[in-house]
Amino acid sequence: MPGEVPEHLLKRSAERRRALGLPVPGEEGGAPPEDAPEAPAAGAPADAPAAEAPAAAEGGAPEARPTGDPDSKIPAHLLARSAARRAAKEGGEAPAAGGAGAKAPAATGGRAAAATATAPPSTATGPGGHTQRLLTVVKAGSIQQTRAEAQDKVHVWPHLLVGEFVSLLSLMALVTIFSALVRAPLLEQANFNQTPNPSKAPWYFLGLQELLTIWHPMVAGVTIPGMGLIVLMMAPYIDKNPATKPSDRKFAICIFTLFLMFWAVLVIIGSFFRGPGFNFVYPWKVGTFFDL
C-alpha cells in the first residue's frame, strides 16, 4: 500500500535510481516490471529503497548520496564523513560492491531484490573508532542528586562551644542569685596570738592531712599522691574498652571506686573523728570539731 511508505524514503529511492541510471517508476521510461502483479506494483518503490539503501550506505560515493534532501533525518556532513572513512578503510572496494549490488535489482526485478536483499549492520565509526551514537544531551543536574553522607562528627564551633557557653552563663546566674539570697556563715576575725585547737585544713585537703598523721611527710605528701596520679593517668591506656555500659567497664569502675572510697574515707575521718590535738575521737561522745 503506498500510504505505508514514508515520503522521504520514496524521494531518496527515486534520486538514487536517477544517479545510477535506473528507471524510476512513475516517470518516462520508468514503468514497473510486467511480471509484478497489480497489487504489489505500488509497493515496489517501497521495497526498492530497502534494497538500495544498504548499497548506498556501503559503497556509494559521497557525492551520490541524497545529502541535500530536506526530509532526510541524517545530516549531510555526517553521511559524507562516514562514506569517506569507509572508503579509506576498505581501500576502494566498497564502491564496486555497491555498484554491483545496485545493478542487481535492475536485472532481477524490484520484487526479487526486495525479497533477497537484507540490510547489513552499520559499521560506521566516529573519531577514535567509537561506534556510539549521540541521542541527546541531558544536563547533569537533572539526573544526578548529590546527597550528604551521614557523619558521626560535628564541629567544635558552634555545636560544642555554644552549649558550654550557655551552661556557663546558667551556672554563674545560679551562683549569683544563691549568694545574694543566702548569708554564708563566717567565723570571727582571726587572732594571730591564739591558734585554734584543732587546726584543720579545708575539707578537700583533710585527706592529705590525715595521711600526714600516719606516715612521714615524704611518703604521705609525695609518694602516695604521686603513685595515685600516675595510676589514674595510665588507666585510659590500660583499659581501651570503648564500651559505655558500666557492666562492660569493670577495670575502670574498680579503679575509680578504689580511689573515691580511699579519699572519701580519709576526708570523713579528718572532718568528724579528729578532736583537740588532732587526736582520734568519737563525734557522738565528744562532739564534732569541724567548721566549713
pLDDT digits (tens, 9 = 90+) for 178-212: 999 988 877 788 888 888 888 888 888 999 999 99
Question: How high is the pLDDT of residue 189?
Answer: 84
Between 192 and 49, whose confidence is greater?
192
Between 6 and 218, whose confidence is greater?
218
Phi, psi (deg, nearest 5) at residue 261: -65, -40
At 47, is the pLDDT very low, low, confident or very high (cuts 50, 70, 90)?
Answer: very low
Give the CA angle between residues 197, 198, 200 to the nearest 5°: 130
- Give yes or no for residue 94 having a pLDDT over 50: no
pLDDT in tens, 150-165: 677 778 888 889 999 9
Residues 6+ apart with CB under 8 A from 184: none
Length of the chain: 292
Phi, psi (deg, nearest 5) at residue 117: -80, 135
Question: How high is the pLDDT of residue 134?
Answer: 57
Given its phi and psi angles, is residue 111 left (phi above 0), alpha (psi -120 to 50 degrees) or beta? alpha
Between 58 and 186, whose confidence is greater?
186
HSE-CB for 182 with a 13 A CA cutoff: 8
Return the bridge partners of 274, or none: 280
Buried-state track 248-279, b at ≥16 Cβ within 10 A, e below 16: ebeebeebeeeeeeebeebbeebbbbbbeebe
Listed residue (62, 58, 86) closest to 76, CA to CA: 62
Between 270 and 150, whose confidence is greater?
270
At 99, is the pLDDT very low, low, confident or very high (cuts 50, 70, 90)?
Answer: very low
Reply yes or no: is the peptide bond before residue 198 cis, omega within 30 of 0. yes
Dist CA 136 CA 133 (whole Å): 9
Dist CA 169 CA 160 (whole Å): 15
- Give yes or no for residue 14 having a pLDDT over 70: yes
Share of residues in the chain with pLDDT > 90 (%): 19
Q: Average pLDDT for residues 220-245, to the nearest whole number?
A: 88
Question: How high is the pLDDT of residue 292?
Answer: 65
Q: List C-alpha distances in Å: 220 to 21, 213, 226, 256.
A: 121, 9, 10, 20
Listed residue (112, 120, 99, 117) closest to 22, CA to CA: 99
Question: How high is the pLDDT of residue 125?
Answer: 58
Minimum mean pLDDT range among 43-47, 156-160, 239-243, 258-262:
43-47
- 3 state DSSP class of 208: helix
Question: How high is the pLDDT of residue 132?
Answer: 61
